[in-house]
Amino acid sequence: MGINVSTERPAVIEDSKYRYDSFKDGKVFDGKKKGRLPAMGWNSWNAFGSGNTSALTRAMADKFIELGLDKLGYEYIVLDDGCYKQERVDGKLSNEEVKFPEGFRALADYIHDKGLKFGMYNDIGTNLCAGAAVGTCGHELTDARSYIEWGVDFIKVDNCYYLWDNATFSNAENAQYTYAPNIRGIEVEGNGLALKLSASYGELKGAGAELKDGYVTGIGTFDGTGPQQSPVGDMSAELVFKIEAPADGEYDLQIRYATGKEPGVGSWLQIATGDGADTKIFYDDMAVASESPADFISSQPFKITLSKGENILRLMNHRRQENTLCSYAALLEAFNEVDKEHGILLSICEWGKTQPQNWGYKVGDSWRILNDITFQVGADGNPGRGEWASDYTPGVAVQYNKAVIMDDYAGLDKGWNDPDMLMIGMDGLDISQCRTHFAMWCMMNSPLMLGLDLRRVNKGDELYNIIANADLIALNQDALGVQAKRVYSSLAESEPDKEYIRDNNRADILAKPLSDGSVAVSFINLSDHEWDKELSVDIDTIIRYIGAKMKDADAFKAASSYKIKDLWSGKESTLATKNISVSGIGAFGNITLKISVLEG
Amino acid sequence: MSVVSDEEKTGAPDDETEGEAVSAERLIDMLRRQAEADDKLKAFDEAFGADALRACGIDAHAPVLMRLDAAIMLHTYMLKVAGIANLEDISAASVLKDLYDCRKCVNHIAQVYLRGLIKPRRLKMPGGAELLLFDAKGVFIPTHVDKFFRMWYHAACG
């Protein structure tokens, strides 16, 4: 049975597969395809914003063929926001008639006739980000029918106007669903036990919560939309008590708490015992509201069952992740219901808000990791503008800094971290930055969604030579399907593959195992000046970090010489040592090499 | 190119929130008259036709105009009618604490804020600190509408 989502209240979760405790079980939902490589294609947003039209889209499809991008692996043409009517028509999605006069099926046919695939956009909230009141929430089955009738192969699904989180354009008070109340203490009674514990006797598990003035606050999942916090490690917190029960049986639990509707203090409470597959949920709903987050009240007695001996009692709220998972799952399940053989690729675009690296693999093929890479999108005649870095999410380096340490969340059996669409060809980035942008995305197995007006590209020009670099694309599309790992950073203290480093005055080295037994190594200068120091990495270091995912690490290690190919210049050379070094990388530049065993 | 006079510094919050709200049609009418005066009616009609507004998600019949919709309309006028290019560096607009709350509107808000076309709002915090907000969902009160046109004139004339 699938999940039922509605606009009335967060989903009632009866199947544990939608629960936080299942996030690490490695199981994907029906209809989610394993084994897919990162998507490649073109998306209308960075190029044309809401101003995309059918005519522009057809022109992009024509350019795909003219430039031979289809032969290089680019296949999806995706309509982003701005293509629907502002309201549903007879309950259904409908094309905006001025910009898409012939309708979506005809456009899909045009694209399919060229051997390409057709993608569209929607949202798990009530409205799309640009405002149209046609979000999928509560309309999943109807919309799935439409998309399948239109021949959609790819769907990007956004998170604006979401009802159960304080997402973009949502009610800010939706934070009440995403955090548990402040908790001052508990009482457990029954079977001769009468226990009264203050919050300080509990253990704060995970990250984000704190004990303050005698109560615990911040129980929930913190917001990953902005670049402030590392994506590695715990993303949420629980307050856990160890309860020694005198006998198996039912007990009364009372909680002293105070509710709120703001980040850090909410109103939704989950009470559970045990963990993993043994988790029992006893309450999963709104708590009766208190006057304010500072006015503590006692709950009604909750009935819980405990086993004789030590029990783990968990007070938590994982609904921020669970609700969002349920909403994406509802759409996937609707596609399954309409056509169980559908192969629609689901691109999750909730901007990293609910830490989708934990759960996205269950339903989706990729998940955005941050808010947008640019807010200065283009229009017909205006290429828009991208940046290398900023204090918020715009910028190549900002997105890279987070994605580069997220390799353990990605893979062929999961899906891909998505640091957003490419900005190659937009104003604001020079050729060196564009080349490094492309090398980064290829090494990180990020989806390669072009975001420029392709009419500005001609075969053999600077832009073409970047987006059509077959050697770089081959890294991204390598059958082994492993995201590169950062094996060195000039600013890392001890764990370059785990440390979240936002200072761009540095150089990184990434290593990526490939299906033919070789390794790609990228030396990246993120700084705005030439990196005049030598950068080097030895074979042992590479194997220490990625050996477990290599085809044959022993053979690679034992080789007496290696063939090295520079994937930008195409030049080949021989390496007879165990140390690979480069020097003099220009500002924002990269050197990306493929290293193969020459002699064993 | 600066189009903001000293007394119209973008950083100065607009505390005049008690003025008279306007409808979307009223602002469109004001913009149209300005376009007519500047002999730019053709560009205006293309940018502000019903289809174009609908495509931007703006209800031309909204009785009370939100600050966000005003930002979109003024930015559209700036770009497509007055012919004023976008400012390239919008990082200074990040002083608006709610700038990124509407991820599809960031550039509209940043451009009109940095040009001084819509002033920020001030939120006083406990302890006396102040935050600057754009307040996208707030009611647009064109207290100094005439200034917009003067600014456009200056901008267009360099």
The partner residue sitting opposite B103, judged by closest CB among A129, A376, A390, is A129
Both tokens of residue A129? 């980000």
* B51/A376 touch (CB, cutoff 8 Å), yes or no: no
Average pLDDT over residues A78-84: 95
Edge-to-edge strand ranges of the sheet holding A237-245: A203-206, A237-245, A309-316, A268-273, A280-286
Model pTM?
0.92
Q: What is the b/e burial string over A333-358, where b = at least 16 CB atoms within 10 angstroms of the residue's CB?
A: bbbbebeeebebbbbbbbbbbbbbbb
In this model, does residue A499 exceed pLDDT 50? yes
The structural domain count of chain A equals 3
Per-residue model confidence as pLDDT tens for chain B (158 residues):
223 333 333 444 555 555 678 888 888 888 888 888 888 999 999 888 877 777 667 777 888 898 999 999 999 998 989 888 899 999 999 999 889 887 788 999 999 999 888 889 888 777 778 889 999 888 888 765 555 655 555 554 43
Residue A305 counted as domain residue: yes
- Per residue in A187-233, pLDDT tens? 999 999 999 999 999 999 999 999 999 999 999 999 999 999 999 99
- The chain A residue lying nearest B54, using CA atoms, is A86
- Per residue in A16-50, pLDDT tens? 999 999 999 999 999 999 999 999 999 999 999 98
In this model, does residue A467 exceed pLDDT 70? yes
In angstroms, what separates the C-alpha of B58 from chain A's closest C-alpha? 8
Q: Is A427 on the interface with B (CB under 8 A)?
A: yes
In angstroms, what separates the C-alpha of A45 from chain B's closest C-alpha? 10
Whether residue A66 is found in the same domain as residue A120: yes
- Per residue in A571-598, pLDDT tens? 999 999 999 999 999 999 999 999 999 9
Whether residue A212 is found in the same domain as residue A162: no
Residue B15 phi, psi (nearest 5): -95, 5
* pLDDT of B13: 52
Both tokens of residue A225? 């939309």
In angstroms, what separates the C-alpha of A333 from chain B's closest C-alpha? 28
Residues of A in contact with B104 (CB under 8 A): 50, 81, 129-130, 160, 168
Domain boundary residue, one of A414, A447, A476: A476
Bridge-based pairing state of the strands A268-273 and A309-316? antiparallel
The partner residue sitting opposite A375, judged by closest CB among B51, B56, B103, is B103
* B104/A130 touch (CB, cutoff 8 Å), yes or no: yes
CATH code of the domain in which A288 resides: 2.60.120.260
Whether residue A541 is found in the same domain as residue A436: no
Residue A350 counted as domain residue: yes
Q: Average per-residue pLDDT in chain A?
A: 97
Residue A174 counted as domain residue: no
The partner residue sitting opposite B51, judged by closest CB among A98, A129, A428, is A98
* A375/B86 touch (CB, cutoff 8 Å), yes or no: no
What is the CB neighbour count within 10 angstroms for residue B3? Answer: 21
* pLDDT of B149: 58
Whether residue A50 is found in the same domain as residue A164: yes
Q: Choose from A169-173, A400-404, B104-108, B142-146 the range with maximum mean pLDDT.
A: A400-404
Residue A16 counted as domain residue: no
Q: Is B33 on the interface with A (CB under 8 A)?
A: no
- The chain B residue lying nearest A167, using CA atoms, is B101
Whether residue A461 is found in the same domain as residue A333: yes
Residue A31 counted as domain residue: no
d(CA A301, CA A304): 9
Q: Is A428 on the interface with B (CB under 8 A)?
A: yes
CATH code of the domain in which A377 resides: 3.20.20.70
Whether residue A359 is found in the same domain as residue A497: no
* pLDDT of B4: 33
Q: Is A50 on the interface with B (CB under 8 A)?
A: yes
- The chain A residue lying nearest B47, using CA atoms, is A51
Residue A381 counted as domain residue: yes
Q: Is B98 on the interface with A (CB under 8 A)?
A: no
Residue A476 phi, psi (nearest 5): -65, -35
Whether residue A151 is found in the same domain as residue A235: no
* pLDDT of B26: 86
* pLDDT of B9: 36
Residue A29 counted as domain residue: no
CATH code of the domain in which A493 resides: 2.60.40.1180
Percent of chain A's residues with pLDDT above 70: 100
Whether residue A380 is found in the same domain as residue A404: yes
Structural domain range at position A151: 39-169+322-476
The SS3 call for residue A564 is: strand
Whether residue A216 is found in the same domain as residue A105: no
| Domain boundaries of chain B, sorted by first residue | 9-156
In angstroms, what separates the C-alpha of A98 from chain B's closest C-alpha? 7
What is the CB neighbour count within 10 angstroms for residue A412? Answer: 15
20-39 of A, contacting B, C-beta below 8 A: none
Q: Is B60 on the interface with A (CB under 8 A)?
A: no
ipTM given for this complex: 0.72
Whether residue A302 is found in the same domain as residue A190: yes
**Lowest mean pLDDT across A105-119, A260-274, B115-129, B139-153:** B139-153
* A391/B91 touch (CB, cutoff 8 Å), yes or no: yes
The partner residue sitting opposite B107, judged by closest CB among A226, A376, A427, is A376
- The chain A residue lying nearest B58, using CA atoms, is A131
* pLDDT of B10: 42
Secondary-structure percent of chain A, ordered helix, strand, coil, rounded to 5: 25, 30, 45
455-474 of A, contacting B, C-beta below 8 A: none
What is the CB neighbour count within 10 angstroms for residue A459? Answer: 10
Domain boundary residue, one of A476, A495, A527: A476
Whether residue A502 is found in the same domain as residue A423: no
Instruction: Kindly state the DSSP code that residue A38 receives in the 8-state scheme.
Output: P
Edge-to-edge strand ranges of the sheet holding A76-78: A416-418, A366-368, A345-348, A154-158, A117-123, A76-78, A40-43, A448-450
Residue A282 counted as domain residue: yes
Whether residue A152 is found in the same domain as residue A79: yes
